[in-house]
Amino acid sequence: MPEGAALLERVISLLVATSWIYWLAACWMVRSFFRDRAVDAGAPAMPPVSILKPVRGLDPEAYENFESFCRQDYPEFEILFGVMDPADPAVAVIRRLQRAHPETRIRLVVAHSSSPNRKAGILHRLAAEARHDILAVSDSDMRVTPEYLRRVVAPLTDDRVGLVTCPYVGGAAASLPAGLEALHMGVTFLPSVIVARKLVGLDFALGASVVIRRRELTRIGGFAALADYLAEDYQLGARVGALGLRVHLSDYITVSVLGGTTFWEQWHREVRWARCTRASRPREYPGLLLSFSTPLSGLLILAAGLTPAHQQTLAVSLVLRWVCGWLVTGSTGDRVARRWLPWLPVRDVLTALVWVAGGVGKRVVWRGEAYELEAGGKMRSLGEIADHAGIRHPYEKGAGGPPGPATPGGGEVTPGGPESDGEEAGRPPTPVLPHT
Protein backbone atom coordinates (compact mmCIF):
# COMPACT_ATOMS: atom_id res chain seq x y z
CA MET A 1 0.00 0.00 0.00
CA PRO A 2 1.42 3.45 -0.92
CA GLU A 3 2.61 5.50 2.05
CA GLY A 4 -0.01 8.21 1.48
CA ALA A 5 -2.85 5.67 1.38
CA ALA A 6 -1.55 4.00 4.53
CA LEU A 7 -1.45 7.34 6.33
CA LEU A 8 -5.00 8.11 5.21
CA GLU A 9 -6.16 4.73 6.50
CA ARG A 10 -4.56 5.36 9.90
CA VAL A 11 -6.08 8.84 10.17
CA ILE A 12 -9.60 7.65 9.32
CA SER A 13 -9.23 4.68 11.67
CA LEU A 14 -8.21 7.05 14.47
CA LEU A 15 -11.24 9.25 13.77
CA VAL A 16 -13.54 6.21 13.87
CA ALA A 17 -12.10 5.05 17.19
CA THR A 18 -12.45 8.56 18.61
CA SER A 19 -16.08 8.64 17.47
CA TRP A 20 -16.71 5.38 19.36
CA ILE A 21 -15.36 6.98 22.52
CA TYR A 22 -17.55 10.01 21.89
CA TRP A 23 -20.73 7.96 21.60
CA LEU A 24 -19.98 5.85 24.65
CA ALA A 25 -19.35 9.02 26.66
CA ALA A 26 -22.44 10.75 25.23
CA CYS A 27 -24.65 7.78 26.06
CA TRP A 28 -23.34 7.71 29.63
CA MET A 29 -23.80 11.49 30.05
CA VAL A 30 -27.38 11.42 28.75
CA ARG A 31 -28.36 8.56 31.00
CA SER A 32 -26.67 10.21 33.99
CA PHE A 33 -28.31 13.57 33.29
CA PHE A 34 -31.84 12.21 33.25
CA ARG A 35 -31.29 9.58 35.96
CA ASP A 36 -29.35 11.46 38.63
CA ARG A 37 -30.59 14.98 38.30
CA ALA A 38 -33.20 16.28 40.72
CA VAL A 39 -36.35 16.98 38.74
CA ASP A 40 -37.24 20.66 38.33
CA ALA A 41 -40.53 19.92 40.03
CA GLY A 42 -41.77 23.37 40.84
CA ALA A 43 -40.94 26.20 43.21
CA PRO A 44 -42.67 27.15 46.47
CA ALA A 45 -43.34 30.57 44.96
CA MET A 46 -44.58 30.48 41.37
CA PRO A 47 -44.49 33.95 39.83
CA PRO A 48 -46.91 34.81 37.03
CA VAL A 49 -45.62 34.02 33.55
CA SER A 50 -46.17 35.43 30.07
CA ILE A 51 -45.81 32.79 27.34
CA LEU A 52 -44.64 34.34 24.06
CA LYS A 53 -45.33 32.43 20.84
CA PRO A 54 -44.29 33.88 17.47
CA VAL A 55 -46.32 32.25 14.70
CA ARG A 56 -46.25 32.23 10.93
CA GLY A 57 -48.48 29.87 9.02
CA LEU A 58 -49.74 26.58 10.37
CA ASP A 59 -47.62 23.77 11.74
CA PRO A 60 -48.99 20.21 11.83
CA GLU A 61 -51.62 19.81 14.58
CA ALA A 62 -51.31 23.53 15.37
CA TYR A 63 -54.47 23.70 17.49
CA GLU A 64 -53.39 20.80 19.71
CA ASN A 65 -49.92 22.31 20.08
CA PHE A 66 -51.32 25.69 21.11
CA GLU A 67 -53.91 24.13 23.40
CA SER A 68 -51.25 22.23 25.36
CA PHE A 69 -50.04 25.58 26.69
CA CYS A 70 -53.56 26.44 27.88
CA ARG A 71 -53.66 23.35 30.09
CA GLN A 72 -50.81 24.31 32.40
CA ASP A 73 -50.97 23.33 36.05
CA TYR A 74 -49.84 26.78 37.08
CA PRO A 75 -51.62 29.47 39.09
CA GLU A 76 -51.26 32.51 36.82
CA PHE A 77 -50.09 32.85 33.23
CA GLU A 78 -51.05 34.45 29.94
CA ILE A 79 -50.32 33.47 26.34
CA LEU A 80 -49.41 36.03 23.69
CA PHE A 81 -49.41 34.90 20.07
CA GLY A 82 -47.66 37.12 17.56
CA VAL A 83 -48.21 37.20 13.79
CA MET A 84 -47.00 39.64 11.13
CA ASP A 85 -50.10 39.44 8.96
CA PRO A 86 -53.70 39.63 10.22
CA ALA A 87 -54.62 37.30 7.34
CA ASP A 88 -52.21 34.60 8.56
CA PRO A 89 -54.04 31.24 8.63
CA ALA A 90 -52.95 30.80 12.25
CA VAL A 91 -55.25 33.65 13.28
CA ALA A 92 -58.39 31.51 12.85
CA VAL A 93 -56.84 28.77 14.98
CA ILE A 94 -55.94 31.25 17.72
CA ARG A 95 -59.49 32.67 17.64
CA ARG A 96 -60.84 29.17 18.12
CA LEU A 97 -58.48 28.70 21.04
CA GLN A 98 -59.69 31.92 22.66
CA ARG A 99 -63.29 30.76 22.41
CA ALA A 100 -62.51 27.30 23.77
CA HIS A 101 -60.45 28.59 26.74
CA PRO A 102 -62.05 31.73 28.17
CA GLU A 103 -60.39 30.91 31.51
CA THR A 104 -56.96 31.61 30.00
CA ARG A 105 -55.82 35.08 29.05
CA ILE A 106 -54.91 34.66 25.38
CA ARG A 107 -53.93 37.63 23.26
CA LEU A 108 -53.17 37.93 19.59
CA VAL A 109 -50.66 40.60 18.57
CA VAL A 110 -50.15 41.71 14.99
CA ALA A 111 -46.52 42.82 15.03
CA HIS A 112 -45.38 44.72 11.97
CA SER A 113 -41.64 44.16 11.77
CA SER A 114 -39.07 44.62 9.05
CA SER A 115 -36.42 42.74 11.00
CA PRO A 116 -34.12 40.40 9.09
CA ASN A 117 -35.09 37.92 11.81
CA ARG A 118 -38.87 38.11 11.74
CA LYS A 119 -39.20 35.81 14.73
CA ALA A 120 -37.15 38.05 16.98
CA GLY A 121 -38.96 41.11 15.68
CA ILE A 122 -42.26 39.58 16.79
CA LEU A 123 -40.74 38.61 20.14
CA HIS A 124 -39.63 42.21 20.65
CA ARG A 125 -43.25 43.30 20.31
CA LEU A 126 -44.65 40.46 22.44
CA ALA A 127 -42.21 41.19 25.26
CA ALA A 128 -43.36 44.81 25.26
CA GLU A 129 -47.00 43.70 25.52
CA ALA A 130 -46.43 41.03 28.17
CA ARG A 131 -47.85 41.77 31.61
CA HIS A 132 -45.50 39.61 33.64
CA ASP A 133 -41.79 39.65 34.37
CA ILE A 134 -41.13 35.96 33.71
CA LEU A 135 -41.15 35.40 29.94
CA ALA A 136 -41.40 31.90 28.46
CA VAL A 137 -40.62 31.83 24.74
CA SER A 138 -41.76 28.77 22.83
CA ASP A 139 -41.81 27.85 19.16
CA SER A 140 -45.16 27.36 17.46
CA ASP A 141 -44.66 23.65 16.75
CA MET A 142 -43.92 22.74 20.37
CA ARG A 143 -46.25 20.60 22.48
CA VAL A 144 -45.98 20.33 26.26
CA THR A 145 -47.61 18.62 29.23
CA PRO A 146 -49.37 20.40 32.12
CA GLU A 147 -46.27 20.48 34.34
CA TYR A 148 -44.19 22.39 31.76
CA LEU A 149 -44.35 25.82 33.40
CA ARG A 150 -43.75 24.47 36.91
CA ARG A 151 -40.67 22.63 35.73
CA VAL A 152 -39.06 25.36 33.64
CA VAL A 153 -39.77 28.30 35.95
CA ALA A 154 -38.51 26.58 39.10
CA PRO A 155 -34.76 27.02 38.40
CA LEU A 156 -35.21 30.83 38.23
CA THR A 157 -35.68 30.87 42.01
CA ASP A 158 -31.87 30.69 42.03
CA ASP A 159 -30.61 34.21 41.30
CA ARG A 160 -27.46 32.73 39.76
CA VAL A 161 -29.59 31.29 36.92
CA GLY A 162 -30.29 33.82 34.20
CA LEU A 163 -32.02 31.64 31.64
CA VAL A 164 -33.66 28.21 31.45
CA THR A 165 -33.80 26.20 28.25
CA CYS A 166 -35.09 22.73 27.37
CA PRO A 167 -34.01 19.83 25.19
CA TYR A 168 -36.54 18.65 22.64
CA VAL A 169 -37.44 15.56 20.65
CA GLY A 170 -39.53 14.98 17.54
CA GLY A 171 -43.12 13.81 17.65
CA ALA A 172 -45.89 12.70 15.27
CA ALA A 173 -43.48 11.87 12.45
CA ALA A 174 -45.76 11.06 9.52
CA SER A 175 -43.20 10.65 6.72
CA LEU A 176 -39.75 9.20 6.17
CA PRO A 177 -38.05 12.64 6.23
CA ALA A 178 -39.91 13.45 9.46
CA GLY A 179 -38.76 10.18 10.98
CA LEU A 180 -35.17 10.96 9.99
CA GLU A 181 -35.53 14.40 11.52
CA ALA A 182 -36.87 12.89 14.74
CA LEU A 183 -33.81 10.63 14.82
CA HIS A 184 -31.54 13.64 14.45
CA MET A 185 -33.29 15.51 17.24
CA GLY A 186 -33.45 12.66 19.72
CA VAL A 187 -30.40 10.50 18.98
CA THR A 188 -27.81 12.94 17.59
CA PHE A 189 -28.56 16.54 18.56
CA LEU A 190 -29.89 16.01 22.10
CA PRO A 191 -26.82 13.98 23.19
CA SER A 192 -24.54 16.67 21.73
CA VAL A 193 -26.22 19.30 23.93
CA ILE A 194 -25.72 17.17 27.04
CA VAL A 195 -22.07 16.60 26.11
CA ALA A 196 -21.52 20.34 25.54
CA ARG A 197 -23.08 21.12 28.91
CA LYS A 198 -20.82 18.61 30.65
CA LEU A 199 -17.54 19.41 28.95
CA VAL A 200 -17.58 23.14 28.16
CA GLY A 201 -20.66 24.47 29.93
CA LEU A 202 -23.87 25.69 28.37
CA ASP A 203 -23.47 29.17 26.91
CA PHE A 204 -26.34 28.98 24.43
CA ALA A 205 -30.10 28.46 24.50
CA LEU A 206 -32.34 26.17 22.47
CA GLY A 207 -35.03 28.16 20.70
CA ALA A 208 -37.70 25.52 21.26
CA SER A 209 -38.15 26.78 24.83
CA VAL A 210 -36.46 29.66 26.66
CA VAL A 211 -37.49 31.14 30.02
CA ILE A 212 -35.94 34.42 31.12
CA ARG A 213 -36.64 37.24 33.57
CA ARG A 214 -37.51 40.59 32.05
CA ARG A 215 -34.65 42.26 33.93
CA GLU A 216 -32.05 40.01 32.29
CA LEU A 217 -33.65 40.51 28.89
CA THR A 218 -33.46 44.26 29.43
CA ARG A 219 -29.82 44.07 30.50
CA ILE A 220 -28.81 42.43 27.22
CA GLY A 221 -30.79 44.97 25.18
CA GLY A 222 -33.96 42.98 24.62
CA PHE A 223 -34.81 41.02 21.51
CA ALA A 224 -34.11 44.11 19.40
CA ALA A 225 -30.41 43.77 20.25
CA LEU A 226 -30.36 40.45 18.42
CA ALA A 227 -31.80 41.85 15.22
CA ASP A 228 -28.92 41.16 12.88
CA TYR A 229 -28.30 37.54 13.88
CA LEU A 230 -29.64 34.32 12.44
CA ALA A 231 -29.39 32.40 15.74
CA GLU A 232 -31.20 34.59 18.24
CA ASP A 233 -31.42 31.64 20.63
CA TYR A 234 -27.64 31.19 20.65
CA GLN A 235 -27.11 34.94 21.09
CA LEU A 236 -29.64 35.05 23.92
CA GLY A 237 -27.84 32.35 25.88
CA ALA A 238 -24.37 33.73 25.13
CA ARG A 239 -25.31 37.23 26.25
CA VAL A 240 -26.95 36.04 29.45
CA GLY A 241 -23.83 33.99 30.17
CA ALA A 242 -21.70 37.10 29.58
CA LEU A 243 -23.59 38.74 32.45
CA GLY A 244 -22.05 36.15 34.76
CA LEU A 245 -25.30 34.22 35.04
CA ARG A 246 -25.84 30.54 34.38
CA VAL A 247 -27.78 29.04 31.47
CA HIS A 248 -29.69 26.14 33.05
CA LEU A 249 -30.60 23.10 30.97
CA SER A 250 -33.86 21.72 32.33
CA ASP A 251 -34.52 18.01 32.33
CA TYR A 252 -38.01 18.73 30.99
CA ILE A 253 -38.25 17.60 27.35
CA THR A 254 -40.54 19.41 24.91
CA VAL A 255 -41.90 17.78 21.75
CA SER A 256 -41.63 19.24 18.26
CA VAL A 257 -44.62 18.00 16.24
CA LEU A 258 -43.22 17.19 12.79
CA GLY A 259 -46.15 15.86 10.78
CA GLY A 260 -45.47 15.01 7.14
CA THR A 261 -42.18 16.82 6.62
CA THR A 262 -40.86 16.64 3.05
CA PHE A 263 -37.24 15.98 2.15
CA TRP A 264 -36.63 19.53 0.92
CA GLU A 265 -38.16 21.05 4.04
CA GLN A 266 -35.86 18.89 6.11
CA TRP A 267 -32.78 19.58 3.98
CA HIS A 268 -33.19 23.38 3.94
CA ARG A 269 -33.94 23.46 7.65
CA GLU A 270 -31.00 21.28 8.68
CA VAL A 271 -28.53 23.03 6.39
CA ARG A 272 -29.67 26.31 7.91
CA TRP A 273 -29.08 24.92 11.40
CA ALA A 274 -25.63 23.69 10.34
CA ARG A 275 -24.62 27.03 8.85
CA CYS A 276 -26.05 28.73 11.91
CA THR A 277 -23.88 26.52 14.15
CA ARG A 278 -20.83 27.18 11.99
CA ALA A 279 -21.38 30.94 12.14
CA SER A 280 -22.08 30.98 15.88
CA ARG A 281 -19.45 28.46 17.02
CA PRO A 282 -16.83 28.28 14.23
CA ARG A 283 -14.14 26.67 16.39
CA GLU A 284 -16.39 23.82 17.44
CA TYR A 285 -18.00 23.11 14.07
CA PRO A 286 -15.15 20.94 12.69
CA GLY A 287 -15.31 18.83 15.86
CA LEU A 288 -18.72 17.52 14.86
CA LEU A 289 -16.80 15.22 12.51
CA LEU A 290 -15.91 13.11 15.55
CA SER A 291 -19.55 12.04 15.93
CA PHE A 292 -19.77 10.47 12.45
CA SER A 293 -18.97 6.85 13.33
CA THR A 294 -20.91 5.19 10.50
CA PRO A 295 -20.00 7.66 7.70
CA LEU A 296 -16.33 7.53 8.73
CA SER A 297 -16.40 3.73 8.69
CA GLY A 298 -17.88 3.83 5.20
CA LEU A 299 -15.22 6.31 4.14
CA LEU A 300 -12.55 3.96 5.49
CA ILE A 301 -13.85 1.20 3.21
CA LEU A 302 -13.94 3.54 0.20
CA ALA A 303 -10.41 4.78 0.88
CA ALA A 304 -8.67 1.56 1.89
CA GLY A 305 -10.79 -1.29 0.57
CA LEU A 306 -13.36 -3.77 1.85
CA THR A 307 -11.00 -5.77 4.05
CA PRO A 308 -12.30 -8.00 6.87
CA ALA A 309 -10.91 -5.53 9.42
CA HIS A 310 -12.73 -2.63 7.79
CA GLN A 311 -15.96 -4.63 7.61
CA GLN A 312 -15.63 -5.28 11.34
CA THR A 313 -15.06 -1.57 11.93
CA LEU A 314 -18.27 -0.73 10.07
CA ALA A 315 -20.17 -3.43 12.00
CA VAL A 316 -18.94 -2.06 15.34
CA SER A 317 -19.98 1.47 14.34
CA LEU A 318 -23.45 0.33 13.32
CA VAL A 319 -24.04 -1.73 16.46
CA LEU A 320 -22.63 0.96 18.73
CA ARG A 321 -24.89 3.63 17.25
CA TRP A 322 -27.96 1.42 17.48
CA VAL A 323 -27.23 0.44 21.09
CA CYS A 324 -26.52 4.02 22.11
CA GLY A 325 -29.65 5.18 20.30
CA TRP A 326 -31.73 2.58 22.10
CA LEU A 327 -30.33 3.57 25.50
CA VAL A 328 -30.65 7.32 24.86
CA THR A 329 -34.27 7.07 23.70
CA GLY A 330 -34.99 4.94 26.75
CA SER A 331 -33.60 7.65 29.02
CA THR A 332 -35.61 10.40 27.33
CA GLY A 333 -38.79 8.42 26.71
CA ASP A 334 -38.50 9.20 22.98
CA ARG A 335 -40.67 6.48 21.48
CA VAL A 336 -40.83 8.16 18.06
CA ALA A 337 -37.06 8.13 17.52
CA ARG A 338 -36.85 4.61 18.90
CA ARG A 339 -39.41 3.46 16.34
CA TRP A 340 -37.23 4.89 13.55
CA LEU A 341 -33.93 3.45 14.84
CA PRO A 342 -33.57 0.94 11.94
CA TRP A 343 -33.05 4.00 9.73
CA LEU A 344 -30.21 5.34 11.91
CA PRO A 345 -27.40 4.49 9.41
CA VAL A 346 -29.24 6.49 6.72
CA ARG A 347 -29.76 9.30 9.21
CA ASP A 348 -26.05 9.34 10.11
CA VAL A 349 -25.01 9.57 6.47
CA LEU A 350 -27.51 12.39 5.93
CA THR A 351 -26.13 14.19 9.00
CA ALA A 352 -22.63 14.01 7.52
CA LEU A 353 -23.88 15.41 4.19
CA VAL A 354 -25.65 18.26 6.00
CA TRP A 355 -22.41 18.98 7.89
CA VAL A 356 -20.49 19.22 4.62
CA ALA A 357 -23.15 21.49 3.04
CA GLY A 358 -23.29 23.61 6.19
CA GLY A 359 -19.53 24.08 6.13
CA VAL A 360 -19.18 25.51 2.64
CA GLY A 361 -22.05 27.92 1.95
CA LYS A 362 -23.40 31.20 3.26
CA ARG A 363 -26.94 31.16 1.88
CA VAL A 364 -29.82 29.94 4.04
CA VAL A 365 -33.53 29.60 3.36
CA TRP A 366 -35.91 30.42 6.19
CA ARG A 367 -39.70 30.75 6.00
CA GLY A 368 -39.76 31.33 2.25
CA GLU A 369 -37.00 33.94 2.32
CA ALA A 370 -33.33 33.67 1.39
CA TYR A 371 -30.58 35.17 3.52
CA GLU A 372 -26.82 35.44 3.32
CA LEU A 373 -24.76 34.83 6.43
CA GLU A 374 -22.21 37.47 7.35
CA ALA A 375 -19.40 37.64 9.90
CA GLY A 376 -20.28 36.73 13.46
CA GLY A 377 -23.55 35.04 12.59
CA LYS A 378 -25.29 38.13 11.24
CA MET A 379 -27.43 37.91 8.13
CA ARG A 380 -28.91 40.05 5.40
CA SER A 381 -32.05 39.38 3.43
CA LEU A 382 -31.85 38.36 -0.23
CA GLY A 383 -35.61 38.55 -0.66
CA GLU A 384 -38.43 36.06 -0.96
CA ILE A 385 -38.13 32.88 -2.99
CA ALA A 386 -40.71 30.98 -4.99
CA ASP A 387 -42.61 28.57 -2.76
CA HIS A 388 -42.08 25.50 -4.92
CA ALA A 389 -39.64 23.45 -2.88
CA GLY A 390 -41.96 22.40 -0.10
CA ILE A 391 -40.31 24.79 2.35
CA ARG A 392 -42.35 25.18 5.51
CA HIS A 393 -42.81 28.78 6.59
CA PRO A 394 -43.61 28.62 10.31
CA TYR A 395 -40.90 29.59 12.76
CA GLU A 396 -38.68 26.70 13.67
CA LYS A 397 -36.19 25.67 16.32
CA GLY A 398 -32.68 26.88 16.00
CA ALA A 399 -33.67 29.19 13.19
CA GLY A 400 -33.60 32.25 15.33
CA GLY A 401 -32.65 35.28 13.48
CA PRO A 402 -32.25 38.74 14.59
CA PRO A 403 -35.13 40.84 15.47
CA GLY A 404 -35.02 43.86 13.40
CA PRO A 405 -36.09 47.04 14.94
CA ALA A 406 -39.71 46.23 15.58
CA THR A 407 -41.92 49.11 14.67
CA PRO A 408 -42.25 51.14 17.87
CA GLY A 409 -45.76 50.86 19.14
CA GLY A 410 -46.67 49.11 15.94
CA GLY A 411 -49.01 46.24 16.50
CA GLU A 412 -52.57 45.40 17.27
CA VAL A 413 -53.74 43.30 20.15
CA THR A 414 -56.77 41.15 20.52
CA PRO A 415 -57.15 39.90 24.07
CA GLY A 416 -58.94 36.76 25.12
CA GLY A 417 -60.06 35.28 28.38
CA PRO A 418 -61.55 37.09 31.36
CA GLU A 419 -59.69 40.36 30.72
CA SER A 420 -60.43 42.04 27.43
CA ASP A 421 -59.41 45.66 27.72
CA GLY A 422 -56.05 45.22 26.01
CA GLU A 423 -54.35 47.54 28.49
CA GLU A 424 -50.87 47.22 29.89
CA ALA A 425 -49.76 48.77 33.15
CA GLY A 426 -48.85 52.40 32.54
CA ARG A 427 -49.55 52.17 28.81
CA PRO A 428 -52.67 53.07 26.83
CA PRO A 429 -54.51 50.19 25.21
CA THR A 430 -53.28 49.15 21.79
CA PRO A 431 -55.81 48.85 18.97
CA VAL A 432 -57.91 45.73 19.20
CA LEU A 433 -58.10 43.48 16.20
CA PRO A 434 -61.84 42.82 15.74
CA HIS A 435 -63.12 39.28 16.03
CA THR A 436 -64.45 37.80 12.83
Q: What is the DSSP string of 372-429?
A: EE-GGGBEEEEEE--S-S----S--TT---PBP-BPTT--EEE--SS--S--BTTBPP
Q: Residue 364 — very low, low, confident or very high, per pLDDT cuts 50/70/90?
A: confident
Which of 9-23, 260-274, 325-339 is the least confident region? 260-274
For 192, the 3-state DSSP assignment is helix
* pLDDT tens-digit readout, 203-231: 999 999 999 999 999 999 999 999 889 88
Query: Is 247's pLDDT higher than 60?
Result: yes
**pLDDT value at residue 401:** 33
Query: Which residues does 175 contact at the CB level (< 8 Å), separation at least 6?
Result: 259, 260, 261, 262
**pLDDT value at residue 388:** 39
**pLDDT value at residue 396:** 45
Is residue 354 domain-resident? Answer: no
CA 163 to chain centre: 15
Which of 75-89, 103-117, 170-184, 370-384 is the least confident region? 370-384
| Other residues' Cβ atoms within 10 Å of the Cβ of residue 74 | 18
Is residue 246 domain-resident? Answer: yes
Are 56 and 84 in contact by the 8 Å Cβ rule? The answer is yes
Alpha-carbon span 171 to 55, nearest angstrom: 19
Query: Is 429's pLDDT higher than 70?
Result: no
* pLDDT tens-digit readout, 110-151: 998 778 888 999 999 999 999 999 999 999 999 999 999 999
Are 365 and 268 in contact by the 8 Å Cβ rule? The answer is yes
Is residue 221 domain-resident? Answer: yes
**pLDDT value at residue 385:** 64
Averaged over 267-277, what is the pLDDT?
Answer: 91
Pick from 70, 131, 62: nearest CA to 91: 62
For 247, the 3-state DSSP assignment is strand
Are 368 and 387 in contact by the 8 Å Cβ rule? The answer is yes
Alpha-carbon span 277 to 334, nearest angstrom: 24
DSSP code at position 432:
P
* pLDDT tens-digit readout, 30-48: 999 998 765 555 556 799 9
Pick from 206, 230, 234, 207: nearest CA to 220: 234
Kindly report the average pLDDT of the chain as a whole number: 87
Helices (H), 173-212: 176-183, 190-199
Are 52 and 127 in contact by the 8 Å Cβ rule? The answer is yes
Is residue 26 domain-resident? Answer: no
**pLDDT value at residue 395:** 46
Is residue 59 domain-resident? Answer: yes
**pLDDT value at residue 367:** 67
Is residue 242 domain-resident? Answer: yes
Alpha-carbon span 346 to 16, nearest angstrom: 17
CA distance to 50, 185, 222, 233, 332, per residue, from 349 (Å): 41, 15, 39, 27, 23
Is residue 180 domain-resident? Answer: no
Q: Which amino acid is at 283?
A: R
**pLDDT value at residue 4:** 82
Residue of 403 and 363 predicted with greater confidence: 363
Averaged over 291-298, what is the pLDDT?
Answer: 98
DSSP string for 319-379: HHHHHHHHHHHHHHT-HHHHHTGGGHHHHHHHHHHHHHHHHH--EEEETTEEEEE-GGGBE
Residue-range definition of the domain harbouring residue 212: 39-167+206-259+397-414
Is residue 162 domain-resident? Answer: yes
Which of 1-10, 57-66, 98-107 is the least confident region? 1-10
| Other residues' Cβ atoms within 10 Å of the Cβ of residue 302 | 10
User: What CATH number corresponds to the domain at position 95?
Assistant: 3.90.550.10
**pLDDT value at residue 374:** 85
Pick from 65, 74, 30: nearest CA to 251: 30
Averaged over 248-266, what is the pLDDT?
Answer: 95
Domain count for the chain? 1
Q: Residue 326 — very low, low, confident or very high, per pLDDT cuts 50/70/90?
A: very high
